[in-house]
Chains A and B, each alone.
Chain A
Amino acid sequence: MTILIGYVPTPEGEAALDTGIAEGKLRSENIVILNSPRKGAAVDATLASADQVAALLKRAHDAGVPASIRQPGHTDDLTDEFIDIADEIDASLIVIGLRRRSQVGKFILGSHSQRILLQADRPVLAVKAGEKS
């Protein structure tokens, strides 16, 4: 079994990664880090650079958790991508970071986290930034 972690280079993403690695250690399971950039622009801030990827994998390695990373691109279907990969690797747990949002922000921007929580038919662990598990 494998744990799927949604990662973006933000405090929320870091929190999800920390929790995911801790869970992986606890359950002696592999982790798969999903860091999917939005396609269409030359540069996307949510994509981890090669150095960052190396650092992520090292963190998992240092914790004794075998890890791999996937960086496919998505358009308007991040939730589907998440769920497809979770199915493919038969994830025992999905870990995502949650952003604190105002009511207005939620209405305008929508929320991938919300859709993943609702649509995934596996356990989802939602972590907020600044909370250490």
Chain B
Amino acid sequence: MTSSSRQEAPLGTSTPHAASGTGSSAIEADPVEPLTAEQLAAEWDEERPPHAGPLANVAAGVVTALLGVAGVAMSLSMGIGTPERPEAGMWPLIISLVMAVLSVALLLFGRKTLDAEAFSSSSLQVAAGVGTLIGFVLVIGLTGFEIPTLLLTFFWLRFLGKETWRMSILLSAIVTAAFYLTFVVALSVPIPHLF
């Protein structure tokens, strides 16, 4: 691309969604511009949700520490035995101890590691998704799998995937039919079904 056209054609509105499309054309035009690992890592990092602070690591450490302590308590109640005659609780006790100790180590030394992701508004989508799964299981025993399958697919397409109404209705019907044909007609899997 020529530089004159660039001057008269301001590329002011590049968006992160189409970086390769609207990025500075000077870079695109140079085929030998080397890619470095740092650039790529930074670029991929941008696409990820923001890091969660040390609090996430503390929360995780506390939860696993509590799990470890609970494991220790329950293992002790099972009976430890001796090394010659180990009883049921010996092995769980060892693991629970390792877990508790490492959780404390995480709380002490691992707080600053930024490998946790912050929850964002799109995490609510995950919660909604899990909600539909729970609904699916609750309904499947009552009405068979067709209706919950149709509803789940529709919900995921329309509200989690932001497909258009038409597309969602059409696709959820097709998916349900395909599942019926695969699992009921072709494989005759004993899944609860209406028809």
Contact = CB atoms under 8 A, between A and B. Distances in A.
Interface residues of B, number: 28
Interface in A36-58: 37, 39-40, 47-51, 53-54, 57-58
B110 interface: no
Contacts, number: 76
B18 A72 contact: yes
**Looking at A37, A49, A58, A60, which has the most chain B CB atoms within 10 Å of its CB?**
A58
A108 interface: yes
B18 A68 contact: no
Given A50-B21, A53-B22, A61-B9, A71 B14 contact: yes
Pairs A-B, 6 closest by C-beta atoms: A73-B17, A54-B1, A75-B162, A71-B18, A61-B5, A57-B9
30 contacts: A35-B21, A47-B21, A49-B20, A50-B21, A50-B23, A50-B25, A51-B28, A53-B21, A54-B25, A54-B29, A57-B5, A58-B2, A60-B9, A61-B5, A66-B9, A67-B9, A68-B9, A68-B10, A68-B11, A68-B13, A69-B13, A70-B13, A70-B15, A71-B17, A72-B15, A72-B17, A73-B15, A73-B17, A75-B162, A76-B163
